[in-house]
Amino acid sequence: MADNHFDIIVIGSGPGGASLARRLAPAGKRILMLERGDWLPRSAENWDPRKVFIESAYQAHEIWHDKTGTAFHPGLHYCVGDNS
């Protein structure tokens, strides 16, 4: 039977989740990190500031709504490391 017991489950591999997992790992705990996105292979395009910041080529195409119902684009990247 697979050992699927974990002491800690971290959801999301952005700066918050990754820092937390890195800090907790030396404690010897079994840590499971769940990430909804995939790895983003390094390419010339994703090292191009125009593609990343101006064309937003890697951002999730989602619209969220604030508490007043006003729509906004959250600017998230659903991939390992997220916005970092």
Ligand X SMILES: Cc1cc2nc3c(=O)[nH]c(=O)nc-3n(C[C@H](O)[C@H](O)[C@H](O)COP(=O)(O)OP(=O)(O)OC[C@H]3O[C@@H](n4cnc5c(N)ncnc54)[C@H](O)[C@@H]3O)c2cc1C
8 Å CB contact between 40 and 16: no
Q: Which one of the spans 1-9, 23-31, 41-49, 71-79 is the region binding ligand X (CB under 6 A)?
A: 71-79
**Buried residues in 70-81 as b, exposed as e (16+ CB within 10 A):** eeeeeeebbbbe
d(CA 52, CA 75): 11
Q: Is 13 in the site for ligand X (CB under 6 A)?
A: yes
32 binds ligand X (CB under 6 A): no
Binding residue (CB under 6 A) for ligand X from 9, 16, 32, 72: 16
Number of residues that bind ligand X (CB under 6 A): 17
Q: Is 22 a residue that touches ligand X (CB under 6 A)?
A: no
